[in-house]
Amino acid sequence: MPPILAIGYSARALAQAVVSSGRKLHLVADHFGDSDCQFSGSEHHRIGSWRSTHAIKDLVRKIEECPRQLTVLFAGGLENWPELMDELAPAAQIWGPTKEQLYVLRNWGFWRSVTERSGIGFPDTRNSMEFVHVKDRSVSNSKWLTKTEQSAGGLGVSRFREGDVHLEGTGKFYFQQHISGRCLGVHAVLTAGEAYLLGITQAWDRQFWPGPTEFIYRGSWGPIQLKSFQLEQLKYLANTIRQESGLLGWVQFDVIEDEQLQLWLLEINPRWAAGMEILVRSHFANPVEWHCQAWTHPCKTLHTDVHTHSNGLPLVSKVVLYAERDIEFRQRHNEVCPEVFEPFLNGKIMETAMAFVADVPAFHGSRICVEHGHPICTLICEMSNESRRLDSEKIEQQLLCVHRNTAAEILHGFGNAA
């Protein structure tokens, strides 16, 4: 197995999953350069100016310095950077979509087409020119969202308001009816002959956890179970994506489940996704293992139905702690990261759970500045499988209680009590 390059806007969780899988991690490249992105035996390369030509050249130069050819695994942010694929191809082995596949897989017209005959819906969606002619867009039961064509993690998504006429006809946005319900992350792996569901997670929305914008990714928890007919629909959808795109390896899609248990596809992400860390930490499945098997043995049957066996496993939740004001950490004793995070680095017992912090900022100078609305760190909670005896509402309450207490302790530690 060749050494791996884990790359993404934030690559910490993917890098940890690579290490957990027993594979050799040689290089981690991401934007943040957090303290827990430094792994024994591996290097870190910080991508300061995301998506710039200069950033690509720096990364390729770093890869070419490696004594062995690297295998590239992608995390979030790469789905909107298709030109990177052509640049990396001569220098590394890419286990991910080609540039041409990305153009297909990130097109909402493709998303709509693959839902046909699956039983899964796709919200009414219009391009900017079509939206000009929509008559009922301001009716209360016909709420529309504005989405940028390169949105990721909920960034670039907002509610349409009639005053936003400057967005219409620009070609940089599309418009989609808002579907109410719980947002699910569906994680799957595709081989040459079959699609396999790895697990389902549920996203936290704004009524449970704060964030700088309404639709930004706040975190998720799981693994959760769905009805058997829903799993059949999702597997049919995953197989259709496989057949129509030729994609190998992992894929994640965002889905809404409405009050009638109808599923609605929102988007497809052909890379490591944030919710996959839930599957790894719960010992449910390590998507890195399945992704690598799909690439090394694309015609092999993988023998996995792990999505149906979550009852005996721990529950895991993660949330992003966003700064509600500008925050500054000052280095005191040459520490790698601010001391306030140290009690949680290896886990701390909080009530009936273990609380951790991840994506912990690192000192690259004498201070760290986190601007209002930007992520401070990620809070992680692991609860025993006994919690699964509770109903969903009580599970959510317990998980959130641990997260809130962890956040309060951290914020108090640097003089910004929540």
Q: What is the CATH number of the domain that holds 67?
A: 3.40.50
- For residue 158, being part of any structural domain is answered with yes
According to the model, what pLDDT value does residue 276 have? 97
- For residue 109, being part of any structural domain is answered with no
According to the model, what pLDDT value does residue 11 have? 95
Number of Cα atoms under 13 Å in the Cβ half of residue 383? 26
According to the model, what pLDDT value does residue 139 have? 46
The answer for residues whose C-beta is within 8 angstroms of residue 37's C-beta and 6 or more apart is: 11, 12, 15, 28, 30, 44, 362
According to the model, what pLDDT value does residue 140 have? 45
Looking at the structure, do residues 172 and 65 belong to the same domain, yes or no? no
According to the model, what pLDDT value does residue 22 have? 93
Yes or no: say if 28 and 15 are a contact pair by the CB < 8 Å rule: yes
Q: Decide the pairing of beta strands 182-190 and 249-257.
A: antiparallel
pTM value is 0.91
Angle at 123 between CA 120 and CA 125, to 5 degrees: 135
According to the model, what pLDDT value does residue 130 have? 73
Looking at the structure, do residues 283 and 406 belong to the same domain, yes or no? yes
Looking at the structure, do residues 340 and 409 belong to the same domain, yes or no? yes
- For residue 110, being part of any structural domain is answered with no
Yes or no: say if 66 and 27 are a contact pair by the CB < 8 Å rule: yes
The residue range of the domain holding 161 is 124-177
Residue 109: phi, psi to the nearest 5?
Answer: -65, -35
User: What is the residue type of 64?
Assistant: E
Mean pLDDT per segment of 10 residues, for the chain of length 418 residues? Answer: 91 95 94 84 85 85 90 90 86 94 93 95 86 59 75 79 56 84 96 94 94 93 94 97 97 96 96 96 93 91 61 87 88 75 88 90 81 94 77 87 93 62
Any idea what DSSP says for residue 69? P
Any idea what DSSP says for residue 341? G
User: What is the residue type of 30?
Assistant: D
According to the model, what pLDDT value does residue 369 have? 85
Q: Decide the pairing of beta strands 353-358 and 375-383.
A: antiparallel
Looking at the structure, do residues 295 and 354 belong to the same domain, yes or no? yes
> Which residues, in sequence order, are bridge partners of residue 147?
157, 174
Looking at the structure, do residues 146 and 78 belong to the same domain, yes or no? no
Looking at the structure, do residues 76 and 193 belong to the same domain, yes or no? no
User: How far apart (Å, rounded) are the C-alpha atoms in residues 290 and 7?
Assistant: 18
Domain boundary among 177, 211, 243: 177
According to the model, what pLDDT value does residue 304 have? 61
- For residue 114, being part of any structural domain is answered with no
The answer for residues whose C-beta is within 8 angstroms of residue 291's C-beta and 6 or more apart is: 73, 95, 189, 249, 250, 272
- For residue 365, being part of any structural domain is answered with yes
Domain boundary among 137, 158, 177: 177
Looking at the structure, do residues 201 and 287 belong to the same domain, yes or no? yes
- For residue 332, being part of any structural domain is answered with yes
Structural domain count, the chain: 3
Which helix H or strand E contains 60, and what residues bound it? Answer: helix 53-64
According to the model, what pLDDT value does residue 417 have? 35
